[in-house]
Copies of this chain bind each other. A is one copy, B any other.
Amino acid sequence: MLDFTSDYNQGAHPKILERLVETNFEKVTSYGLDKYSLSAKDKIKKACGCENAEVYFLTGGTQTNQNVISAMLKGFEGVIAADTGHIGSHEAGAIEFTGHKVLPLPHENGKLTAKAVKDYVLNYYADENYEHMVFPGMVYISYPTEYGTLYSKKELTELYAVCKEYKMPLYIDGARLGYGLVCGESDMSLEDIARLCDVFYIGGTKVGALCGEAVVFTKNNMPEHFMTLVKRNGAMIAKGRLIGVQFDTLFTDGLYFEISRNAIEKADRLKNIFRKKGYRFYIDSPTNQIFILLEDSKLEQLQQDVKAGFWEKPDAEHTVVRFATSWATTDSEIDALEKIL
């Protein structure tokens, strides 16, 4: 049975496991103050080209979104997101749980446009009763988006300009950041990302780690006593080394980007195969997630040999299915899928 369900159904890159084994019996400080975490933070800051950045490690994506957003919003503020944004749709109300509203705007290919955000803010402040409404206090996007699409440097520059104009921090969810950055369609580098937002995270869980996400506050703007806020949220792990060692490994000799490239290469091969065989793409996604529109009968047939991710049902007879490649996908898996298709 082939499995293209997700990019988080295998363990970790072998180099990570090796390092965990090698360092296992060293006694180190807990709560993220160990030498591996410190080293990893340094490497990340260098890779981002901003030595003044502050890096904080968390365990998973929803947790990261929840901690960053709730720490940065003031009480009267909410966070703007595309209506397809992960925080608004697939996090079980994690932002609302911290008392804040997600303010949804219609997406374009999974993306928020600078214009849509600007119009929303202008309309908000034009309302005489705006003080009775939730203030737009932050903007959330993801790179790549939930549909695997990418902001161009121009789009992100314009969006960030609007954010700065209205004093709303821009936060980028980088659960699959590696897959976005190494993709042929991307005109962005990690430095660009760091420059064009206030805070973002580098996803580990979906890019070769067992767990872990690295939050980067890029503008000397880590919220006061963020560590205590994280603890209060139940999000601090005692053995911070577990995440520290992983990111230290991922950011040694460019491993993070190297393994990201594998996912994109395999996805490109697979897209060619789908294209050649006449499958219909539901959305044109340049990264490692491929959304295929299938007739339900066809889907049923495929499911006998391959597992893929249910995405949505646009109508009664079709289903959108996601095929995800990852850092670990092999050519032989693609070969096997080709045969089945």
Binding site for B on A (CB under 8 A): 3, 5-6, 8-12, 14, 17, 20-21, 23-30, 59-67, 70-71, 74-76, 78, 89-94, 96-102, 104, 123, 126-129, 131-135, 205-206, 210-211, 224-225, 227-229, 231-239, 241-242, 310, 312-313, 328
Most chain B beta-carbon contacts within 10 A, residue among A8, A11, A26, A232: A232
A326 (CB) vs chain B CBs: closest residue: B27
Q: If the complex has contacts A76-B225, A228-B76, are A238 and B206 also in contact, measured as CB distance less than 8 A?
A: yes
Q: How far is the CB of A316 from chain B (nearest CB, A)?
A: 11
**Complex contact A134–B92 (CB within 8 A):** yes
Q: If the complex has contacts A9-B29, A66-B234, are A76 and B96 also in contact, measured as CB distance less than 8 A?
A: no
A selection of 23 A-B contacts at a CB cut-off of 8 Å is A8-B30, A9-B27, A11-B24, A11-B241, A20-B20, A20-B210, A21-B21, A60-B234, A60-B236, A60-B237, A62-B234, A63-B235, A76-B225, A89-B133, A91-B231, A91-B232, A92-B228, A92-B229, A97-B232, A104-B104, A129-B310, A211-B237, A211-B239
Complex Cα–Cα for A312 and B14 (A): 43
Chain B residues whose C-beta falls within 8 Å of the C-beta of A123 in the assembled complex: 313
A223 (CB) vs chain B CBs: closest residue: B75
Chain B residues whose C-beta falls within 8 Å of the C-beta of A127 in the assembled complex: 310, 312
Complex Cα–Cα for A12 and B24 (A): 7
**Complex contact B3–A27 (CB within 8 A):** yes
Q: If the complex has contacts A11-B239, A74-B224, A92-B134, are A234 and B63 also in contact, measured as CB distance less than 8 A?
A: yes
Chain B residues whose C-beta falls within 8 Å of the C-beta of A100 in the assembled complex: 93, 96
**Complex contact A234–B235 (CB within 8 A):** yes
Partner of A128, one of B60, B66, B236, B310: B310
Chain B residues whose C-beta falls within 8 Å of the C-beta of A236 in the assembled complex: 60, 62
Contacts A76-B224, A206-B238 known; list 8 others, CB within 8 Å: A6-B238, A10-B27, A11-B25, A11-B241, A20-B210, A60-B236, A76-B229, A205-B237
A8 (CB) vs chain B CBs: closest residue: B238
**Complex contact A17–B20 (CB within 8 A):** yes
Q: How far is the CB of A80 from chain B (nearest CB, A)?
A: 13
A23 (CB) vs chain B CBs: closest residue: B11
A102 (CB) vs chain B CBs: closest residue: B101
A18 (CB) vs chain B CBs: closest residue: B21
Chain B residues whose C-beta falls within 8 Å of the C-beta of A6 in the assembled complex: 30, 238
**Complex contact B67–A234 (CB within 8 A):** yes
Complex Cα–Cα for A95 and B334 (A): 48
A11 (CB) vs chain B CBs: closest residue: B24
Chain B residues whose C-beta falls within 8 Å of the C-beta of A29 in the assembled complex: 9
Complex Cα–Cα for A162 and B235 (A): 33
**Complex contact A238–B14 (CB within 8 A):** no
Complex Cα–Cα for A133 and B94 (A): 10
Complex Cα–Cα for A104 and B78 (A): 16
